[in-house]
């Protein structure tokens, strides 16, 4: 009988263990489903935030591009208005009948317009490249001719067209004539 009691107790213990395992299994399944639902919600929230940020960034990029295009389109507006003032002064100067009596004041007026134009260039960081008498530099000069001169070879002896730079950037190269190093023969006898 004792043996039967032991078997019964053993069977009861096994039954209890199986019930505990079943309960734990059910609890684990419920916990797993709950965790999956939580993770799914978090994933969906992150995805939604990510999509909103992506759309926000795309809008920012488009707006920035449009602003940049507008800035480029209208960047020269101020300088153009300043040029219009100079043009107005030229028109006034051209409308004057120049006589011997007003020639000096006319020259003074044209010189004032010239100074106004130079001031505008300086205000916009544009300066003339001084070239006459300088050593030829292909980075800032365009040699359009090579001529005999008293100067050494590769010295600039004539400026055909002034060059300009804006800051450190060359915006127009100086067109120059360069000495070829051959001295002109001024002592030729007349035949």
Reported as a pLDDT band with limits 50, 70 and 90, residue 70 is confident
pLDDT digits (tens, 9 = 90+) for 173-190: 999 999 988 887 765 544
Q: Is the pTM of this model over 0.75?
A: no
Residue spans of the domains in the chain: they are 127-184
Q: Which CATH number fits domain 127-184: 3.30.465.10, 3.30.450.20, 3.40.50.620, 2.30.22.10?
A: 2.30.22.10
Biggest CA pair distance of the chain = 159
> What is the percent of the chain where pLDDT is above 70?
83
Task: Write down the pLDDT at residue 32.
Answer: 84
């Amino acid at each position: 009988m004792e043996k039967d009691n032991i078997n019964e107790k053993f069977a009861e213990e096994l039954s209890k263990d199986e019930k505990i395992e079943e309960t734990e299994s059910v609890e684990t399944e419920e916990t797993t489903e709950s965790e999956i639902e939580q993770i799914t919600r978090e994933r969906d929230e992150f995805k939604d935030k990510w999509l909103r940020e992506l759309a926000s960034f795309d809008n920012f990029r488009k707006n920035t591009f449009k602003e940049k295009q507008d800035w480029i389109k209208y960047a020269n507006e101020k300088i153009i208005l300043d040029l219009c003032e100079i043009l107005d002064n030229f028109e006034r100067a051209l409308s004057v009948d120049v006589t011997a009596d007003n020639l000096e004041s006319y020259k003074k007026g044209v010189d004032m317009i010239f100074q106004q134009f130079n001031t505008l260039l300086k205000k916009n960081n544009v300066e003339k490249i001084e070239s006459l008498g300088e050593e030829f530099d292909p980075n800032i000069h365009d040699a359009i001719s090579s001529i005999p001169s008293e100067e050494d070879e590769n010295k600039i002896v004539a400026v055909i067209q002034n060059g300009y730079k804006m800051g450190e950037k060359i915006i127009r190269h100086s067109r120059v004539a360069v000495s070829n190093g051959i001295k002109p023969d001024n002592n030729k006898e007349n035949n």
